[in-house]
Amino acid sequence: MRQIILRAYSAIKFSRRFLFKSASGGLFCCLLAMPSVDAGADLLTTGLQTVDLVKVDKSERKMYLLSGGKIVKEYRVALGENPQGHKQQEGDERTPEGDYTLDYKKEDSAYYRAMHISYPNAVDVAEAEKKGIAPGGFIMVHGQRNGLGWLAPLVQYFNWTNGCIALTDAEMDEFMNLVSIGTTIRIEW
């Protein structure tokens, strides 16, 4: 199947020029808008693989989409303002650490689009109860704040969330297309 798609892409790539007859019988050339060869190849590669793990390295501020142990996509992310260490309680501005599940998509978010992370789990809740604090929650992988996506080239250089993991809006569209509900997300320092 992959070979067929790659051949089709190659055929389209090389036949971007089409000749049309004008009303006077002359010929003119029309170029079709096509993605760059690198972008197209990248989309073909990730589009044919099932993402089975999302891995976040908080120390590098990177997110990796993996399929069968191989990285198929990499993103630079923004995290909570206090990223080092596991989220302990509501308001600590930390991004949790550990294995969680991406358990639902949220299209009506205050941040472009979002996918929920299953924090807090039973261990997080028990630890918070022992300390007499609220563990917090509603941690998401999300895009930019609605209406401010144009600021992403600047704000993605800072840890600006309250504990979530932020991508640009375009990256969030790609993430939502490549990652299924039920996929494990592993977050570590």
Of the listed ranges 15-24, 139-148, 166-175, the one predicted with least confidence:
15-24
Length of the chain: 189
Is residue 5's pLDDT more than 60? no
Backbone angles phi, psi at 18, to 5 degrees: -125, 140
Alpha-helical (H) ranges within 1-121 are 2-14, 37-47
For the entire predicted model, the pTM comes to: 0.73
Core vs surface per residue 51-71: b (16+ CB within 10 A) or e: bebbbbebeebebbbbbeeee
**What mean pLDDT comes out for the span 138-150?**
95
SS3 64: strand
- Predicted confidence at residue 50, as pLDDT, reads 87
The predicted-structure confidence for 95-112, as pLDDT tens digits, reads as follows 999 999 999 999 998 999
CB 87 within 8 A of CB 131: no
Q: What is the DSSP string of 98-133?
A: EEEEEEEEESS-SBSSEEEE--S-HHHHHHHHHHTS
Q: Which helix (H) or strand (E) element contains residue 66? A: strand 62-67
Select the more confidently predicted residue: 165 or 26. 165
The predicted-structure confidence for 82-99, as pLDDT tens digits, reads as follows 889 999 899 999 999 999
pLDDT band at 48 (very low <50, low <70, confident <90, very high): low
| Mean model confidence pLDDT for the chain | 80
